Amino acid sequence: MICIPVMGKTQTAAMKAVEKSAPHCDMIELRMDLIPKADLSALIDRGREISPILKVLVTNRSASQSGKAPPVKEAGNEDSRPSGSTGTVADGEKKRIALLKDAVAVGCDYVDCELDTPETLRRELLSGIEALHHRTGLIVSDHDFKKTPPLAVLKKRFRSCVEAKADIVKIVTYARHPEDNLRILELVAYARKEGLNIAAFCMGPHGTASRILAPLMGSCISYASLRRGLESAPGQLTVNEIKDIFYRLHIKA
């Protein structure tokens, strides 16, 4: 699936982004941390009016994962990241996850919840999903904006996301060197061998190869910007670029 992130400084700007993006992708990602005072239901409804088969992913990224929502408390060693913070849950975190619970209630296709989200809140979100018979899928994500850790560490983070009941595990790292792409591709192969859904790639200029090759290995979501200047992460290709590359490589998006 090709997914275009939707952002906007106002509801009107976000709505225009939905209207421009929906015809060109399989999924839109509503980045609610980047859309102040958004009308979530209206954005979802408009996307589906334009494309009835469009999937809608709702994300409300925490500051700890490079979003604009309030940060979570530190969860300890960054290479262990076992199951999220278990300390006192800040009001900001409760509000951040409450928005994802609202997204489940109005019937979005997926919500993205970070692995470092306090476990109590992740369980509340999962309970809401279960109460509606898993109409909404859960993406549990982990981002490393500084490096690509060793494969053993990536596998440990992957297993933690699986244990958090993810329907899709999202693991994203930063490539400091071209060879970092190989580790993330090995992780994709490992997940698919286990029969588990994964979306994984590297960010940054050195990470472009993984964005192209990961779908060949079985990564199930490819994030692409509508056009240059609208990237939600460093190294992100545009939707036209990635479609052209996939077409030439005979990759089914």
Residue pair 1/29 in contact (Cβ under 8 Å)? The answer is no
* 170 is a catalytic site residue: yes
CA–CA distance, 109 with 129 (Å, rounded to integer): 11
CB neighbour class for 150 (10 Å; exposed up to 12, middle 13-18, buried from 19) = exposed
Long-range pairs, 152-160, Cβ under 8 A, ≥24: 153/79, 154/183, 154/184, 154/187, 155/187, 155/190, 156/79, 156/80, 156/81, 157/81, 157/115, 158/187, 158/190, 158/191, 158/198, 160/81, 160/82, 160/83, 160/115
Determine what percent of the chain falls in helix, strand and coil, rounding each to the nearest 5: 45, 20, 40
Through-space distance between the first and last CA atoms of the chain, rounded to whole angstroms = 5
Active-site option among 55, 170, 206, 243: 170
Active-site option among 55, 143, 206, 243: 143
Which residues are part of the catalytic machinery?
Answer: 143, 170
